[in-house]
Amino acid sequence: MKHNELLGLGIAGEHHDNAIVLRVNGEVDLATASDLAHHIEQAVTAAPAAVIVDLSGVSFLASVGMSVLIAARRKACCSTSLVVVASGPTTGRPMHLVGLDAAIPIFTDIDSALESVGSSLRKSVTGASGSSESGAGCPECATGTSTADVHTA
């Protein structure tokens, strides 16, 4: 048994085309948030087109867990799309209440998230901008700040 499983958190990563899906199970709280942050950072560092954090198996989501998602979104910026799968009273409701959905796309199931990510990838490949450079012209990448107003305290 891994240390993080003893703490009540399990994270498994899998590849879907050009996306990494992190399936999270258990409780995301002060004791486990750093482990979640580490796994998300590793996934983002691998530079996939998208990272999908699936919180369907999460039984408790503290505000520190939502802060981890915001930090990951800022780190990924324009080079990697970060989306979340969350529904119900344990994950989806609190994330919507604090306005996290203004900064990070939140889906109710993994199939919808994968479809959206695939659709976004097709749009970026066929887009009219002509630039394939990640983050080119992105105000968040240029300033290192997010335009979203999210309250997780």
Give me the CATH number covering residue 104.
3.30.750.24
Give tens-digit pLDDT for 102-131: 999 999 999 999 999 886 655 554 443 433
Kindly state whether residue 153 falls inside one of the protein's structural domains.
no
Kindly state whether residue 18 falls inside one of the protein's structural domains.
yes
Rg for the chain (alpha carbons), in Å?
Answer: 15
Kindly state whether residue 84 falls inside one of the protein's structural domains.
yes
Kindly state whether residue 26 falls inside one of the protein's structural domains.
yes
Kindly state whether residue 126 falls inside one of the protein's structural domains.
no
Kindly state whether residue 151 falls inside one of the protein's structural domains.
no
Give tens-digit pLDDT for 73-96: 999 887 899 999 998 899 999 999
- Domain coverage including residue 73: 13-89+99-114+136-143
Number of domains in the chain: 1
